[in-house]
């Protein structure tokens, strides 16, 4: 059957499918259900009453859990809130109001941040909300293109930082190489701008099969005497519960001293009951074994998308070893068309352009596929719809 006929058949099915957001599936969330049922016998953690205010930086054992996830010393880590994004927004607020050594970002005519593309739409949204000018930077498969970064940082003093998702980058799935990490540290620590590397390590332990260990950026930075250039983020959103997990922020001693007065003016203490539950949960379950259970659920979904995409030869796609996304690169000029056709068939996809600052993918080619949240059966159907839509889009563009 040709693509147009397939399209009509699929349309008559009145499907309702969704590959938009990188959310854990119900089956994954069930892995952490014992968190809900914890019956706390003691409300004390190392002499701290966890029902009360206080411990702004988070419970010590929870910070230790953060260090196990992010792979750096617990001395750098604070645990707080239920998401890393809210910690990112708090840190940006701090930079705008109080600022780094060059003063509050609020006073500057223009503040720019480098955004490796294709990248994470919520980083871009945060920048837009704060009025930060976004400058796209190419990714090489091993992280940002260092030459591009260096040239821009040296020539534009408004550049105050760079967003990085160093492991299983959203959405390209790439892992930054040691050379790139060291290069970024060199560029940002030596520049006049003294920019910040926003190290969003959201997928630090989210391997699909073999474990990949990312070098600890703080150890590398310490050797280069530039620890203050890095702010690291992470969370348990895709380890336990998205929305009811723990957020982590990690930074040098100096940055902690600068940030603490601002941070503690925003709240009197984090939810230590949830932190205590997470501590207990990971005393009973090893983090590594727990993440293997996630991988057992996720890998067949990534494999299925890969198998289905092999049935077409209109575009290329990534084969990530972890994380939450597959990135499809359609024939230039076709992404919007594919997404709109998919929507006609009841398949929701992330809007075209979401992978780029200001929603502008000049080539109109990238489509982010988030295969995690749906069941395998739904994914199978969703990929049939997707294949049909790329076929129809191709046929129409050939006319
Ligand atoms: C790169 C990246 N950072 C942060 C987040 C959100 O994390 P959190 O739930 O901790 O705010 C996501 C979620 O998809 C993500 O992909």
**Does residue 131 share a domain with residue 210?**
yes
**Does residue 217 share a domain with residue 102?**
yes
Note whether residue 133 is domain-resident: yes
The answer to whether 114 touches 102, Cβ cutoff 8 Å, is: no
Burial class of 111 by CB neighbour count within 10 A (0 to 12, 13 to 18, 19+): buried
* 233 Cβ closer than 6 Å to some ligand 1 atom: no
* 84 Cβ closer than 6 Å to some ligand 1 atom: yes
**Does residue 300 share a domain with residue 272?**
no
**Of 284, 312, 335, the domain-final residue:** 284
Please report, for residues 311, 334, 369, 372, the alpha-carbon distance to residue 306 in angstroms, rounded to integers and kept in the order given.
9, 20, 11, 13
Query: What's the domain range around 242?
Result: 45-284
The alpha carbon of 311 and the centre of ligand 1 are apart by a number of angstroms equal to 31
The alpha carbon of 220 and the centre of ligand 1 are apart by a number of angstroms equal to 24
The token pair that represents 56 in the structure block: 């702004």
Note whether residue 40 is domain-resident: no
Give the nearest ligand 1 atom to 87 CA.
11
- Give the pLDDT confidence score for residue 87 in this predicted structure: 98
**Is residue 161 classed as helix, strand or coil in its secondary structure?**
strand
The answer to whether 91 touches 113, Cβ cutoff 8 Å, is: no
Q: Is the pTM of this model over 0.75?
A: yes
CATH of the domain at 195: 3.40.640.10
- Give the pLDDT confidence score for residue 191 in this predicted structure: 84
**Does residue 233 share a domain with residue 106?**
yes
**Does residue 7 share a domain with residue 139?**
no
Task: Tell whether omega for the bond before 336 is within 30 degrees of 0, i.e. cis.
Answer: no
CATH of the domain at 352: 3.90.1150.10
First vs last Cα of the chain: how many Å apart? 19
* 85 Cβ closer than 6 Å to some ligand 1 atom: yes
Note whether residue 28 is domain-resident: no
**Does residue 212 share a domain with residue 147?**
yes
**Does residue 299 share a domain with residue 242?**
no
**Of 265, 284, 303, the domain-final residue:** 284
**Does residue 262 share a domain with residue 358?**
no
The residue whose CB lies within 8 Å of the most ligand 1 atoms, and thus the one to mutate among 84, 89, 119, is 84
The H-assigned helical ranges of 113-177 are: 121-130, 146-155
- Give the pLDDT confidence score for residue 43 in this predicted structure: 83
**Does residue 241 share a domain with residue 105?**
yes
Note whether residue 331 is domain-resident: yes
* 202 Cβ closer than 6 Å to some ligand 1 atom: yes
**Of 238, 266, 284, the domain-final residue:** 284
Closest CA to ligand 1's atom 6: 85
The residue whose CB lies within 8 Å of the most ligand 1 atoms, and thus the one to mutate among 237, 274, 320, 372, is 237
**Does residue 208 share a domain with residue 124?**
yes
* 165 Cβ closer than 6 Å to some ligand 1 atom: yes
CB-hemisphere CA count at 13 Å for 90? 22
The alpha carbon of 202 and the centre of ligand 1 are apart by a number of angstroms equal to 6
**Does residue 168 share a domain with residue 213?**
yes
The token pair that represents 268 in the structure block: 């009197």
As for how many domains the chain has, the answer is: 2
- Give the pLDDT confidence score for residue 399 in this predicted structure: 72
Closest CA to ligand 1's atom 12: 202
* 235 Cβ closer than 6 Å to some ligand 1 atom: yes
Give the nearest ligand 1 atom to 247 CA.
10
The alpha carbon of 80 and the centre of ligand 1 are apart by a number of angstroms equal to 15
Residues whose CB falls within 8 Å of the CB of residue 90, separated by 6 or more in sequence, listed in order: 249, 262, 263, 266
- Give the pLDDT confidence score for residue 40 in this predicted structure: 66
* 25 Cβ closer than 6 Å to some ligand 1 atom: no
**Does residue 355 share a domain with residue 253?**
no
Each of the 399 residues of the chain gets a pLDDT tens digit; together they read 899 999 999 999 999 999 998 999 999 999 999 998 777 667 877 788 999 999 999 999 999 999 999 999 999 999 999 999 999 999 999 999 999 878 899 988 999 999 999 999 999 999 999 999 999 999 999 999 999 999 999 999 999 999 999 999 999 999 999 999 999 999 998 888 779 999 999 999 999 999 999 999 999 999 999 999 999 999 999 999 999 999 999 999 999 999 999 999 999 999 999 999 999 999 999 999 999 999 999 999 999 999 999 999 999 999 999 999 999 999 999 999 999 999 999 999 999 999 999 999 999 999 999 999 999 999 999 999 999 999 999 998 877
**Is residue 208 classed as helix, strand or coil in its secondary structure?**
coil
* 170 Cβ closer than 6 Å to some ligand 1 atom: yes
Q: How many C-beta atoms surround the C-beta of residue 200 within 10 A?
A: 25
- Give the pLDDT confidence score for residue 38 in this predicted structure: 74
CB burial string 57-71: b at 16+ within 10 A, e below: bbbbbbbbbbbbbbb
* Rounded-to-integer distance, Cα 255 and Cα 301, Å: 41
């Amino acid at each position: 059957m040709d693509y147009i006929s397939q399209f009509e058949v699929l349309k008559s099915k009145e499907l309702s499918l969704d590959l938009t957001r990188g959310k854990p599936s119900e089956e994954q969330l069930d892995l952490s259900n014992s968190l809900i049922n914890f019956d706390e016998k003691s409300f004390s953690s190392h002499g701290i009453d966890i029902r009360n205010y206080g411990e702004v930086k988070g419970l010590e054992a929870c910070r230790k859990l953060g260090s196990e996830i992010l792979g750096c010393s617990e001395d750098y880590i604070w645990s707080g809130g239920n998401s890393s994004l809210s910690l990112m927004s708090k840190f940006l607020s701090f930079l705008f109001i109080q600022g780094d050594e060059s003063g509050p970002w609020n006073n500057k005519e223009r503040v720019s941040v480098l955004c490796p593309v294709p990248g994470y739409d919520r980083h871009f949204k945060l920048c837009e909300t704060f009025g930060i000018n976004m400058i796209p930077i190419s990714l090489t498969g091993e992280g940002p293109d260092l030459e591009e970064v260096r040239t821009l940082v040296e020539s534009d003093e408004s550049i105050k930082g760079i967003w990085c998702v160093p492991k299983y980058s959203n959405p390209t799935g790439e892992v930054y190489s040691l050379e790139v990490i060291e290069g970024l540290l060199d560029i940002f620590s030596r520049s006049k701008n003294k920019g910040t590397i926003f190290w969003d390590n959201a997928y630090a332990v989210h391997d699909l099969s073999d474990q990949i260990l990312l070098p600890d950026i703080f150890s590398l930075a310490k050797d280069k005497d530039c620890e203050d250039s890095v702010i690291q983020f992470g969370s348990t959103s895709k380890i336990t519960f998205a929305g009811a997990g723990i957020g982590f922020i990690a930074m040098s001693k100096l940055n902690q001293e600068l940030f603490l007065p601002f941070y503690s003016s925003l709240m009197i203490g984090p939810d230590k009951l949830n932190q205590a539950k997470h501590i207990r949960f990971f005393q009973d379950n090893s983090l590594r074994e727990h993440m293997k259970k996630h991988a057992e659920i996720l890998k067949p979904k990534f494999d299925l998308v890969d198998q289905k995409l092999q049935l077409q030869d209109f575009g290329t796609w990534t084969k990530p070893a972890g994380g939450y996304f597959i990135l499809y690169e359609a024939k230039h000029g076709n992404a919007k068309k594919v997404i709109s056709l998919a929507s006609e068939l009841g398949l929701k996809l992330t809007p075209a352009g979401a992978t780029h600052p200001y929603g502008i993918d000049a080539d109109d080619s990238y489509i982010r596929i988030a295969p995690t949240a749906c069941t395998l059966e739904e994914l199978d159907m969703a990929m049939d719809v997707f294949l049909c839509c790329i076929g129809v889009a191709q046929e129409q563009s050939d006319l």
